[in-house]
Amino acid sequence: MSLHRFKAEFFKALGHPTRLAILDQLRAGERSVQDLQQALAIEQSSVSQQLAVLRNKNIVDSRKEGTTVYYRVRDPMIFQLLDVARQIFNNHLIDTQEMLAILNEEQDTVR
C-alpha cells in the first residue's frame, strides 16, 4: 500500500460524524460501548460498527473485562490532529464570514 493510500484510508476512517463524536468522548479516557451509546444516544450496534472501523485503522484499542469491552485512543496525538482540523475549519469560517460581510456591504451600496 502506498503512503498516500494509507493516509487516505486513515482520513477516511475519521470522515464520519459518529466516529468523530466517539473520539471526542474518548478524550476523557477509556469508555465502554455502553458508555458511548448513552453519551451519544445512538444504538449499540451503530457504536460497535463505528468502533470496528476505528479499530481496523488502529485508531482505537480495546480490552475486554468480563462481558464489557472498553475502548481508548491508541495514540493521543489524534486529538492534536482533530484540534488542528478544528482550527482550520474555524479559519475558513472566519474567512467566509468576512467575505459575506464584504458582499453585504457592496450590496448595500448598490441599493
- Among residues 92, 73, 95, the alpha carbon closest in space to that of 84 is found at 92
- The per-residue pLDDT for range 14-49, each reduced to its tens digit, is 999 999 999 999 999 999 999 999 999 999 999 999
* DSSP β-bridge partners for residue 61: 72
- The per-residue pLDDT for range 42-70, each reduced to its tens digit, is 999 999 999 999 999 999 999 999 999 99
Section 86-106 average pLDDT: 83
Beta carbons within 8 Å of 53's beta carbon, 6+ residues apart: 13, 16, 19
Number of residues that this document lists for the chain: 111
